[in-house]
Amino acid sequence: MSETTLADIERALDRAADLETEAAVSVLRTARQDLQDLGNDADVDEERRRELETDLEQRIRAVEERDAYDGGVGASMNPAEDDAP
């Protein structure tokens, strides 16, 4: 059995919000694996586990989108006045 709890995964979600993109995605992917491992644990609240799984997927997408925006994609879509034609 895994030593990870749903509360540990919730803390990982919170912690990832304050990390740089690469570190955040790493923390979230580890949490996702831990969450999948908990799927085999009969003592885990399955409904809450599924909710956290959905939250994790949303956070991973949000972090990856944040990285794309910060990487210049957003800047090219919203140029500064000095850069506008």
Domain range list for the chain: 6-74
Mean pLDDT of the chain: 81
The rounded distance, in Å, linking the Cα atoms of 26 and 41 is 23
pTM above 0.75, yes or no: no
Q: Where does residue 72 fall: left (phi above 0), alpha (psi -120 to 50 degrees), or beta otherwise?
A: left
Encode pLDDT of 14-51 as tens digits.
998 888 888 998 999 999 999 999 988 888 999 999 99
Task: Supply the Cα-derived Rg of the chain in whole angstroms.
Answer: 17
From 40, 16, 43, 11, select the one nearest 28 (Cα to Cα): 16
